[in-house]
């Protein structure tokens, strides 16, 4: 399943002059990225770990990601600009995420993708490690998962002694290849990465991927599970994901109320 099923553009994003100074992004884009960090924490998709990136709205070969920190505490000042090779443009000495290559290489391989969420959300991990069991769309809110999410086996790209992290461009490329035209890729013994054409869509998908995984684990204990057909999955993407604004507004308000309740405006 691809974010844009009629996509016919270039096969990958060209890298422009890396030294060229970047045009300022829309302030709304960065505000949305900060909000996404808070929502993903509040919804239990990320904890102290995990991250969300968005493509630069004026330079498709650049993206934004927080510095190395817990997503729930990210502010506008913590956002760093990167090239698609994962080089920080303006880190100013700040530590950056080891796994930034996930975002850069997916954004390079998929011009139709503008936002990426990487997490270790709780119900996904069991489905990444059992042979013969695959995450599949089980309900209408998660049609984007389709009839079977691919699983990235890091041993195939990095041998059997890695720390399982996507810590360089080679591993990032291998992960992007496994994602292929899907919207989610599981990472064995690690978590998952979700792609969307906007921050709101990627956040929506990350939240509902976790819920789908939880339902699937519960249903598999009861008996044989009926999953969505390919046609149902596609219809649900079209008809349900047109409404990503509604959960976004609710989740953002809830995250803000909780932050202010904790004295962390």
Name the residues annotated as catalytic.
99
108: tokens are 């390079």
Q: State whether the Cα torsion 214-184-96-199 is positive or negative.
A: negative
d(CA 112, CA 9): 8
Angle at 155 between CA 99 and CA 1, to 5 degrees: 65
Helix (H) or strand (E) segment spanning residue 260: helix 245-261
| Residues 62 and 22 sit within 8 Å (Cβ to Cβ) | yes
SS3 82: strand
d(CA 74, CA 67): 8
d(CA 56, CA 61): 7
Sole residue written with tokens 């913590």:
78
Angle at 80 between CA 74 and CA 83, to 5 degrees: 145
């Amino acid at each position: 399943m691809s974010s844009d099923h009629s996509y016919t553009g270039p096969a990958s994003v060209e890298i422009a002059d890396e030294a060229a100074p970047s045009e300022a992004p829309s302030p709304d884009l960065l505000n949305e990225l900060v909000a996404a960090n808070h929502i993903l924490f509040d919804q239990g998709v990320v904890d102290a770990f995990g991250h969300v990136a968005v493509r630069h709205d004026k330079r498709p070969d650049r993206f934004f990601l927080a510095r190395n920190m817990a997503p729930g505490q990210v502010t506008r000042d913590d956002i760093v600009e990167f090239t698609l090779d994962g080089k920080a443009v303006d880190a100013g000495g700040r530590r950056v995420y080891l796994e930034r290559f996930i975002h850069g290489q997916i954004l390079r391989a998929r011009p139709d993708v503008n936002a990426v969420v990487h997490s270790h959300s709780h119900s996904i991990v069991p489905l990444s490690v059992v042979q013969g069991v695959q995450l599949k769309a089980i309900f209408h809110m998660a049609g984007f998962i389709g009839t079977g999410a691919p699983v990235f086996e890091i041993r195939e790209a990095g041998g059997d002694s890695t720390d399982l992290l996507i810590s360089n461009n080679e591993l990032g490329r291998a992960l992007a290849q496994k994602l292929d035209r899907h919207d989610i890729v599981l990472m064995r013994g690690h978590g998952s990465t979700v792609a969307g054409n906007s921050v709101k869509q990627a956040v929506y998908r990350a939240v509902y991927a976790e819920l789908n995984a939880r339902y699937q684990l519960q249903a598999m204990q009861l008996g044989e599970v009926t999953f969505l057909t390919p046609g149902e999955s596609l219809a649900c993407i079209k008809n349900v994901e047109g409404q990503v604004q509604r959960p976004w507004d609710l989740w953002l308000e809830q995250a803000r109320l909780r932050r202010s309740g904790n004295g962390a405006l």
